[in-house]
Structure 1
Amino acid sequence: MRNAHRTTLAALAATVTALVLAGCSGTDTPSTADSGPDSEPVSLKVGYIPASVYAYFWQAQDAGYFEDAGLEVELVPMSGGGEIIPALQSGSVQFGISDAMGVINAVNNGIGIEYVTFNASQTEESPIHSVVVKDPSITSAADLNGKTVATNASFNTDWTMMRAWLRQGGADLDSITFLELPFPDQLAALDAGTIDAAGMLEPFVTSSRGAGLEVIGDFFTEVQSPSVLSGVAATNEYVEQNPDVVERFVEAVEKAVDDFNADPQVARDRIAENTEIDPALVAEMNLPVWSNDTDPSQMQFWIDAAEEEGIVETDLDPTSLIWTR
């Protein structure tokens, strides 16, 4: 089973196509030598998905936090972990977003990466992932026995947590067909009846309610709350060779997170300005919960979940997966 799972790295994260900004960057490798904030700016490329979860990049850029830290940051839109992790390995980006399972899968397959900040989560009070159905007779996990359930990708946090939620709700996983379907395509598939349930992410959860569909559960937070799911990663080698740059980059991101926590409207403004989501929908949808002091032990939940699914076969130390000052 382990060898089979090694082939799934390219499907670790969502292709959130409705949120992608126009235009992509070149692939020239920038200079990454350490320097002080008052020296020549350090050029960095950051691979990310232009979605609400990673809105802190826009705030750090717009508020001048990267510039104040002596960093010239280029945000490079990418499709997900299958593109970002190889880009980290090659050095074409210095930092890149990843969900928890992306880092675990990479390390399990011998790729030396770690989180420099593990900062995005959701809670029972503010879930951003939900199970959405059209058929009113489906009201629980057990009602999905023999049905088709869509997640955005396989072997990522969404797929793993959907299976945990179904298992917790008494569903028979062997009877359920799991289908990979990008978030923007899930609503149409439900409407057409080609799937029976979808594991959706905001803003698609909120827009589905407006389309008359039903939410039957919050499949992340009903299993684990708070549920820390993603952050920004770099290679172990880059972190070791550029500690000052890493420190300054993380401090700039943390200032943006502080802004969001002080006034959530700042986050909504950045999302509305940098995505194609209707501003009315941005005002209504749930936001992620961002934190600058996530305990590395939070990764243990995902390690245990990966072992439950047979994705990893060796013990991983959660503290080795998250950089600490």
Structure 2
Amino acid sequence: MRTQGRVLFVLAVVLLLGSCSFLDETDAPTAPGPETERLSVGVSNAVETAPLRLAVSDGLFRRGGLQVELVELDDDDPIEALTEQRVDVVFAGNVTLFHAAATGTKITLQGEAYVAGTGSMALVTLPGSPYTDPSRLPAPRIAVPTPDGLGALTSRSVLRAAGVDPAAISFEVIPFDGMVEALREGRVDAAWMTEPHLTVAQKEHGALVLADCAHGATEDFPMSAYATTEEFGAAHPRTLALFRDLLAEAQQKGADDGTVRRALPRLADVDEVTASLVSLGTYPQVVHAERLQRVADLMHGSGQLTERLDVGALVPREELP
């Protein structure tokens, strides 16, 4: 009887522990999911947004639990699209983003998009132009796609390094597809171009590089990023954390130049030859505040920002090292 009692006691303990374990497993709270499973992202420039576009088309975001809708902004103001809530997240040039932040727009950076590589942005001229050296003209006229954007910022930097007074440079706002004609007509002395427009101008019109704008103070220069409003970020922290994680995976795939080049003909209006010739930069996987600070500091030094901007304040706290 005593032995039988011990056996029954042991069985009771085993059953009790088993039931507790079962309850622990079934009643364990699960981590909350994203606040929304849909996210609209405003995009432009197919070269700089190539990894994101590929990840969306290949289903990476969908498999990760997020439906990302890409909204082509073309010539629309990305900051307006964001603040008017036409998109949840927007791709934009860092100069545009930092100018908006410095003038009161509350934004947070959700990921870097693109960092310039050698030859990925440059001042160009046409064959026969007398402007063959950056120091040759004391007051050059430069075509740029936007006023006070990355083109003006980097052009001032490389021309200053060549001995040109930045205050003497005049900028003409001309869309990329009109720059070659402006050069041909003599309305500007040089044009600031990025890929794939740069390679197209070289291949189809014999354009010559006057100065590489990813050189010297602007070598490995951060060109663009993804951002959202502080308000949207505060309301959707888990959604944006998931977006950042999946974007990092997408950007990692962008490290393979071959993958990007093969995709460009279907992502942008370029042929396979042009896609094989474009100069590519890099696609960062994380937001690097110190790297981005270079942009804000150059803007401050050139007078585009009246006060120094702390870029670290624009990065989600959990993303800071």
The answer to whether the 8 A contact 2:139-2:164 is kept is no
Alignment of 1:292-311 (within 5 A): 292-311=285-304
Distance 1:49 1:136 in 2: 32
| CA distance in structure 2 between the partners assigned to 1:41 and 1:115 by the alignment | 19
Alignment partner, residue 9 of structure 2: none
2:222, 2:295 within 8 Å by CA — same for their partners in 1? Answer: no
Q: State how 1:51-130 maps to structure 2 within 5 Å.
A: 51-79=46-74, 83-124=77-118, 127-130=119-122
Match of 1:13 in 2: none
Indicate conservation of the 8 Å contact 1:140/1:216, yes or no: yes
Q: 1:281 aligns with which of 274, 282, 290?
A: 274
* 2:123 matches 1:131: yes
Q: TM-score, normalised by structure 1?
A: 0.82
Task: Output one character per residue of 1:88-112: Cα deviation in whole Å (capped at 9) or x when no partner.
Answer: 2232211001111112111111110
Q: Could you tell me the TM-score, scaled by structure 2's length? A: 0.83
Partners of 1:35 and 1:60 lie apart in 2 by 24
Partner of 1:237: 231
Distance (Å, rounded) in 2 between the aligned partners of 1:280 and 1:148: 31
Q: Is 1:214 aligned to 2:208, yes or no?
A: yes
SS in 1 for 2:187: coil
Give the Å deviation of 1:214. Answer: 1.2
Residue 84 of structure 1: how far off its partner (Å) = 1.8
Q: Which residue identity does 1:220 align to in structure 2? A: A
Deviation at 1:293, TM superposition (A): 3.2
Matches of 1:54 and 1:297 in 2, distance apart? 22
Give 1:145 deviation, angstroms: 2.1
Query: Whole-Å Cα distance in 2 between the matches of residues 199 and 50 of structure 1?
Result: 15
User: How big is the shift at 1:35?
Assistant: 6.4
Q: Confirm whether residue 254 of structure 1 aligns to residue 248 of structure 2.
A: yes
Determine helix, strand or coil for the equivalent of 1:205.
helix
Letter in 2 for 1:137: P
Identity %: 23
Aligned equivalent of 1:322: 315
Contact 1:144 1:176 in 2 (8 A): no
Per-residue CA shift, 1:154-184, capped at 9, x if unaligned?
1111211111111111113343321011111
Q: Evaluate the alpha carbon distance shift between residue 36 and residue 68 of structure 1 in structure 2; reply closer, same or farther with a 3 A threshold.
A: farther
Give the superposition deviation at 1:41.
6.7
Runs of at least 4 residues off by over 4 Å: none
Letter in structure 1 aligned against 2:70: L
1:267 to 2:260 alignment: yes
**1:29 paired residue number:** none
Q: In the alignment, residue 155 of structure 2 is paired with which amino acid?
A: M
Gaps of 5+ in 2: 1-30
CA contact (8 A) 1:41 1:70 kept: no
Partner secondary structure for residue 282 of structure 1: helix
CA separation of 1:232 and 1:282: change in aligned 2, threshold 3 A: same
Q: Which runs of 5+ in 1 are unaligned?
A: 1-33
SS in 1 for 2:108: strand
8 A Cα contact 2:49 2:113, kept in partner: no
CA deviations 1:215-253 (Å, max 9, x no partner) are 121113333221111110011122222111111112222
Question: Aligned partners of 1:309, 1:295: CA distance in 2, in Å?
Answer: 22
SS at match of 1:107: helix
196-205 or 315-324: bigger deviation:
315-324
Q: How many residues align?
A: 286
Distance 1:83 1:213 in 2: 29
Q: Measure, in 2, the Cα distance between the counterparts of 1:187 and 1:109.
A: 34
1:198: which partner in 2?
Answer: 191
RMSD over equivalenced CA pairs, Å: 2.1
Q: Supply the distance in 1 between the matched residues of 2:167 and 2:218 (Cα, whole angstroms).
A: 23
Deviation at 1:288, TM superposition (A): 2.4
Contact 1:99/1:229 (<8 A) preserved: yes
CA distance in 2, matches of 1:174, 1:235: 34
Residue in 2 aligned with 1:49? 44
Aligned pairs for 1:180-199 (under 5 A) are: 180-199=173-192
CA distance in 2, matches of 1:48, 1:70: 21
Cα distance, 1:320 vs. partner? Answer: 0.9
Higher mean C-alpha deviation, range 172-181 or range 281-290: 172-181
* Cα separation, partners in 2 of 1:95 and 1:294, compared to 1, 3 Å: closer
Would the alpha carbon gap of residues 68 and 35 (structure 1) be closer, same or farther in structure 2, given more than 3 Å must change? farther
Query: 1:207, CA displacement in angstroms?
Result: 2.1
Displacement of 1:119 in angstroms is 3.4
User: SS where residue 139 of structure 2 aligns?
Assistant: coil
Instruction: Write the distance in 1 (CA, Å) between the matches of 2:290 and 2:153.
Output: 18
Q: Take 1:158 and 1:150, find their aligned partners in 2: how far apart are those partners?
A: 8
